[in-house]
Amino acid sequence: MQTGKEYVCLMRLHGDVSDERLLEAVKLFTGQIYQVPPVRSSVTRKPRMRTIYSAEIIERNGRDVLMRVACSGGTYLRKYCYDLGLYLGCGAHMQELRRTRAGPYDEENSVTLLDVYEAVKLYNENGEEHALREVVQPVETTIKFLPKVYVLDSAVDAVCHGADLAVVGISKLDDGIKRGDGVAVMTLKGELVALGDAQMSTEEMLDSEEGIAVDTERVIMDRGIYPAVWRTGSKDFN
């Protein structure tokens, strides 16, 4: 949800509009916009700010306009089309929609459900993993957009048990982290351990000798993969 999306959208205008007028409207509706979610939506219907990173008219056939729109998460393209129609004074609605990118994933690296079915079938029948590894990507691919904090091997299992990450457990980290940022807690091998919220900036983590650097929100790695060094000489905790 935190990452950008890209769509190819077919918008149908309810009246005749010149190319110049349409281009002017699309340009105006690029950047930060206010949007009220549509009646049929899963969120509260109140104005909120969303970002249209880019909007391109691919093709036009009369009142049918094919567009490519890159936007922030939570943007409703059917409402985007509706609002464009209001601004143009003729009305408009979204006729068709295709998502072409979500975060780090796009159509270039997507697979079909049939691909998944065949890969699972091969694995169940003879233990063949190659096809399965082709269609199932590592979880680490999902967090390319997040800043990363790399932890010592001795701190991994404690985080896997839900402990917050203390400064003493950090080996290295990315630049530019601010308090409150979502971060990925990684092993030195590049494995995802957990997701959390930074309690310190990059500079504070580097300068501090004690304190909690990351509040662990969601543990990804299973317990017991790395040695439970934190248990030695201390009481176990849940």
Closest CA to 218 of 199, 197, 196: 196
Instruction: Report d(CA 206, CA 219) in Å as an integer.
Output: 24
Tell me: do 175 and 206 sit in the same domain. yes
Query: 117 with 73, same domain?
Result: no
CB 214 within 8 Å of CB 185: yes
User: What is the predicted pLDDT for the residue at 37?
Assistant: 83
* Spacing of C-alpha 42 from chain mean position: 18
Residue 98's domain comprises 5-103
For residue 143 the two structure tokens come to 């967090």
Report the pLDDT value the prediction gives residue 237, as an integer from 0 to 100: 38
The one-letter code for the residue type at 87 is: Y
**pTM for this entry:** 0.69
Number of neighbouring beta carbons within 10 Å of residue 163? 17
**Domain shared by 16 and 80, yes or no:** yes
Query: What region does 221 belong to: left with phi over 0, alpha with psi -120 to 50, or beta?
Result: beta
Contacts of 213 (CB under 8 A, 6+ apart): 149, 165, 166, 167, 170, 198, 199, 200, 204, 205
* Residue 236 domain flag: no
Instruction: Indicate if 200 and 222 belong to the same structural domain.
Output: yes
> What is the pLDDT, as a whole number, of residue 2?
66
In a domain, 145, yes or no: yes
Q: Note whether 22 and 112 are same-domain residues.
A: no
Q: What is the maximum span of the chain, computed from C-alpha positions, in angstroms?
A: 77
User: Are residue 44 and residue 127 in the same domain, yes or no?
Assistant: no
Q: Tell me the CATH number at 225.
A: 2.30.130.10
Per-residue pLDDT of the chain (238 residues; tens, 9 = 90+): 667 899 999 999 999 999 999 999 999 999 999 998 887 777 777 889 999 999 999 999 999 999 999 999 889 999 999 999 999 999 999 999 999 998 888 888 889 999 999 999 999 999 889 999 889 888 898 888 899 999 999 999 999 999 999 999 999 999 999 999 999 999 999 999 999 999 999 999 999 999 999 999 999 999 999 988 766 544 433 3
Kindly state whether residues 91 and 150 are assigned to the same domain.
no
Give all strands (DSSP E) within 14-169, no chain letters. 31-35, 48-61, 64-71, 92-102, 105-106, 148-151, 165-166
90 in a domain, yes or no? Answer: yes
Q: Return the CATH number at 57.
A: 3.30.70.3190
Split into its structural domains, the chain has a count of 3
* Residues 13, 63 contacting (CB under 8 angstroms): yes
Same domain, 162 and 209: yes
Are residues 114 and 90 part of one domain? no
Q: Which residues contact 173 (CB under 8 A, 6 or more apart)?
A: 147, 148, 149, 150, 202, 205, 206
Say yes or no: 93 and 23 in one domain.
Answer: yes
42 and 57 share one domain: yes
How many other β-carbons are positioned within 10 Å of the β-carbon of residue 84? 25
